[in-house]
C-alpha cells in the first residue's frame, strides 16, 4: 500500500508494514518469542532473535517512520533511551550544540553521564541565533540537538534555517519532536536528519507505556541506528510496541481535540487577572507565532503559565483542581498539570532552573481530550481558590 496518496488520518491507521505474521489479522499480533527457529545452518530468516528484530516492533517502527516521512525507525525502551541511542552515533570527545532550555532529562544525560563516559562536550545556545550557532561550532562538533517547542516554556526553533546551516557545515541534526508528534510537525521535511520521540507521550497517548523512538531521514543513518540498537539492546518490548501502535491509530483525532482544547484554555488564561503570563505558540501574542504557523499544524496541546503569587499559591491551585491531575508526564488523553521546578526539572540546580527561566510560579498544562468547558471551569475555580486569601 502506497502512503503518498493518503491523508495523515488515513496513514495513522494503515502506514508502514503492519502485516506478515498473520496476513488476515486486522491488527498485528503481539509476538513475544525471544528466539525464532531456523531450518538449517544456511537459513537466514528475517526474524532470528528479538533483540535484533521482532515482528511487533517492526510493525510499529515502520508506521512511525512513515508518519514522520523517514526511511526507518528504531524503537527504544524509553525517550531517554532514544536520546542515548542517537548519542552513540558520535565519536569519543565529540561536541554537541544544544538548544538552550532543553528538557531536563536530556541535560542530565549530556552533562552527568556522556561527558564522563565519552568525553562529550556541549554548548547551549538559542538555536534561532544563527550567528551564535556558527560561533559555537568547533572542528569536533558532530551534532546539533534541537528541541522545539522546548519544555516547558515552548520556545520554537526555525528548523529549516538551522538545518541549512548544519548541512553546510557537515553536522548532523536531531530534533526532539515529543511535544508535537508527527501530526503537528514533520521535521524531516524541513531538513532534519534524525527525529526522536518519547513515545510515552502523544504517540502512545494513553499514559500506559514507556518508550522512545528514533526516525532516520536516510538509509545510511538508519543502518547505523539499527546496528547500535542491536548492539546496545535498549529496545522496546513487544507489549509496549503493541500499545504504541494502537495509540497511533487515534493520533489524528486525539491531537485535533487536544490542540483545539489547548487554544481555548490559552485564550482563557491570557485574559485571567491572576495569570502573570501565558506561553502558547498558537496565540497571536506569542513572539514566535508566525514561525509556529510556518512549521506547525497548530499551537500544540501544551500550555504553560506563570501564576501571580509564590509556591504556596501554586500549591493551593494544584490542590484545588478536580479534573487536571498533578503528574510528571504529558500527552495522555487526561489533562495533567506539572510544576516544572519540583518535577520535570527537579534534578537541575536552582541556578540552572533560573537560567532557563523556570520559576516556582510556573505550571505546565498537558491538555487532554475532555470538554474544554469543563477544563476551563476547573482552572477558573482553582485560580479563585488559590488566590482567595491573598
Q: What is the pLDDT of residues 53-104, one digit of tens each?
A: 999 999 999 999 999 999 999 999 999 999 999 999 999 999 999 999 888 8
Q: How confident is the model at residue 28 (pLDDT cuts 50, 70, 90)?
A: confident
Q: Would you state the pLDDT for residue 333?
A: 98
Q: Is the pLDDT of residue 3 over 60?
A: no
Cα–Cα distances (Å) from 353 to 74, 102, 179, 338, in that order, read: 32, 11, 20, 15
Domain residue ranges of the chain, discontinuous segments joined by +: 8-248, 251-386
Protein fold of 251-386: 3.90.1150
Q: Would you state the pLDDT for residue 15?
A: 86
Give the 3-state secondary structure of residue 258: helix
103 is catalytic: yes
List the beta bridge partners of residue 364.
Answer: 304, 338
**Active-site annotation holder among 60, 103, 202, 242:** 103
Q: Would you state the pLDDT for residue 37?
A: 87
Exposure of 142 in the CB half-sphere (CA atoms within 13 A): 13
201 is catalytic: yes
Burial class (CB in 10 A: 0-12, 13-18, 19+), 179: buried
Q: How confident is the model at residue 24 (pLDDT cuts 50, 70, 90)?
A: confident
Q: Would you state the pLDDT for residue 359?
A: 94
Q: Is the pLDDT of residue 20 over 80?
A: no
Q: Would you state the pLDDT for residue 29?
A: 86
CA separation for the pair 349, 98 (Å, rounded): 18
CA separation for the pair 180, 300 (Å, rounded): 6
Q: How confident is the model at residue 130 (pLDDT cuts 50, 70, 90)?
A: very high
Please state the rounded mean pLDDT for residues 18-46.
Answer: 82
The pLDDT tens digits for 320-376 are 999 999 999 999 999 999 999 999 888 778 998 888 889 999 999 999 999 999 999
Q: What residues have CB less than 8 Å from 42, skipping those under 6 apart?
A: none
Sign of CA dihedral 241, 246, 248, 254: negative
Closest by alpha carbon to 342, among 350, 334, 332? 350
Please state the rounded mean pLDDT for residues 97-117.
Answer: 91
Main-chain phi, psi angles of 356, to 5 degrees: -80, -10
CA separation for the pair 353, 341 (Å, rounded): 7
Which segment of 41-50, 206-215, 239-248, 273-282 scores lowest on mean pLDDT?
41-50
Please state the rounded mean pLDDT for residues 138-150.
Answer: 98
**Active-site annotation holder among 11, 57, 201, 306:** 201
List the beta bridge partners of residue 389.
Answer: none
Q: How confident is the model at residue 389 (pLDDT cuts 50, 70, 90)?
A: low
Place of cell 518519547: 198
Neighbours of 206 (CB within 10 A): 16
Residue 76 is placed in which grid cell?
527504544
Q: Would you state the pLDDT for residue 1?
A: 42
Cα–Cα distances (Å) from 339 to 258, 307, 335, in that order, read: 20, 11, 14
Place of cell 502506514: 15
Q: Is the pLDDT of residue 2 over 90?
A: no
List the beta bridge partners of residue 278.
Answer: 305
CATH number of 8-248: 3.40.640.10
**Active-site annotation holder among 57, 60, 114, 176:** 176
Q: Would you state the pLDDT for residue 5?
A: 53
Closest by alpha carbon to 65, among 255, 240, 194, 224? 194
Question: C-alpha dihedral over 378, 381, 383, 388, to 10 degrees?
Answer: -160
- Find out whether the peptide bond into 149 is cis, omega within 30 degrees of 0: yes
**Are the CB atoms for 40 and 48 separated by under 8 Å?**
no
Which segment of 17-31, 182-196, 253-267 scores lowest on mean pLDDT?
17-31
Amino acid at each position: 500500500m502506497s502512503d503518498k496518496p493518503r491523508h495523515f488520518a488515513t496513514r495513522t491507521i494503515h502506514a508502514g508494514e503492519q502485516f506478515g505474521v498473520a496476513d488476515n489479522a486486522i491488527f498485528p499480533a503481539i509476538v513475544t518469542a525471544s528466539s525464532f527457529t531456523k531450518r538449517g545452518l544456511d537459513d537466514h530468516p528475517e526474524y532470528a532473535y528479538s533483540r535484533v528484530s521482532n515482528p511487533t516492533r517492526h510493525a510499529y517502527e515502520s508506521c512511525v517512520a512513515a508518519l514522520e516521512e523517514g526511511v526507518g525507525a528504531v524503537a527504544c525502551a524509553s525517550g531517554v533511551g532514544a536520546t542515548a541511542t542517537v548519542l552513540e552515533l558520535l565519536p569519543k570527545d565529540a561536541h554537541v550544540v544544544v538548544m538552550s532550555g532543553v528538557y531536563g532529562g536530556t541535560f542530565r544525560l549530556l552533562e552527568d553521564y556522556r561527558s564522563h563516559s565519552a568525553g562529550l562536550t556541549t554548548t547551549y545556545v538559542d538555536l534561532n541565533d544563527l550567528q551564535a550557532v556558527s560561533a559555537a561550532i568547533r572542528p569536533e562538533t558532530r551534532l546539533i540537538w534541537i528541541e522545539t517547542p522546548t519544555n516547558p516554556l515552548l520556545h520554537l526553533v526555525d528548523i529549516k534555517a538551522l538545518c541549512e546551516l548544519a548541512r553546510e557545515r557537515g553536522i548532523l541534526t536531531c530534533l526532539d519532536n515529543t511535544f508535537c508528534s508527527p501530526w503537528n510537525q514533520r521535521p524531516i521535511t524541513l531538513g532534519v536528519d534524525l527525529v526522536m520521540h518519547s513515545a510515552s507521550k502523544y504517540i502512545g497517548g494513553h499514559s500506559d507505556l514507556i518508550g522512545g523512538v528514533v526516525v532516520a531521514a536516510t538509509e545510511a543513518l538508519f543502518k547505523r541506528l539499527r546496528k547500535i540498537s542491536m548492539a546496545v539492546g535498549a529496545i522496546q518490548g513487544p507489549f509496549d510496541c503493541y500499545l504504541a501502535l494502537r495509540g497511533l491509530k487515534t493520533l489524528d483525532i486525539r491531537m485535533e481535540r487536544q490542540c483545539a482544547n489547548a487554544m481555548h484554555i490559552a485564550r482563557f488564561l491570557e485574559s485571567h487577572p491572576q495569570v502573570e503570563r501565558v506561553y502558547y505558540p498558537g496565540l497571536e501574542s506569542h513572539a514566535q507565532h508566525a514561525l509556529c504557523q510556518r512549521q506547525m499544524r497548530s499551537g500544540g496541546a501544551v500550555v504553560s503559565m506563570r501564576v501571580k503569587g509564590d509556591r504556596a499559591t501554586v500549591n493551593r491551585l494544584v490542590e484545588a483542581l478536580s479534573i487536571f491531575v498533578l503528574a510528571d508526564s504529558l500527552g495522555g488523553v487526561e489533562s495533567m498539570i506539572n510544576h516544572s521546578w519540583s518535577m520535570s526539572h527537579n534534578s537541575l540546580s536552582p541556578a540552572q532552573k533560573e537560567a532557563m527561566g523556570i520559576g516556582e510560579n510556573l505550571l505546565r498544562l498537558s491538555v487532554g481530550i475532555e470538554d474544554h468547558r469543563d477544563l476551563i471551569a476547573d482552572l477558573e475555580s482553582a485560580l479563585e481558590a488559590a488566590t482567595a486569601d491573598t
